[in-house]
Structure 1
Amino acid sequence: MLFGISTACFYPEVYTEETLKIIKNIGFELCEVFFESASEMTGDYLKAIKKGMDESGLKINTIHPFPSPFEPYLFDKYERRRLEMEEKFRLACNAARELGAKYYVFHGERNNKQVKDAQWTAKVMDYLCKVASEYNIALAWENVSWCMGSNPKFIEEVIGFMKEDLYFVLDFKQALRSGRRVEEYINVFKDRIVNVHVSDSNEKCDCLLPGYGNYDIRGSVEEVLKFNKNCQFIIEVYRDNFGEVEEISKSYEYMLNLGV
Structure 2
Amino acid sequence: MTTTVPQTDQRSAIVTGASTGIGEATVRALAAEGWRVFAVARRAERLESLAAETGAIAVPADISEDDDVARLVAAVVDAGGADTLVNIAGGARGTDWVAEAKTEDWEWMLRSNVVGTMKITRAFLPMLRANGHGTVLNLTSVAALVSYEGGGGYNAAKAAERAMTRALRLEEAENNVRVVEVLPGLVKTEEFSLRRLGGNAEAAEKVYEGVEEPLTAEDVADIVRYAVTVPHHINLDEIVVRPVAQAAAHKLIRRHA
TM-score (norm: length of structure 1): 0.37
TM-score (norm: length of structure 2): 0.37
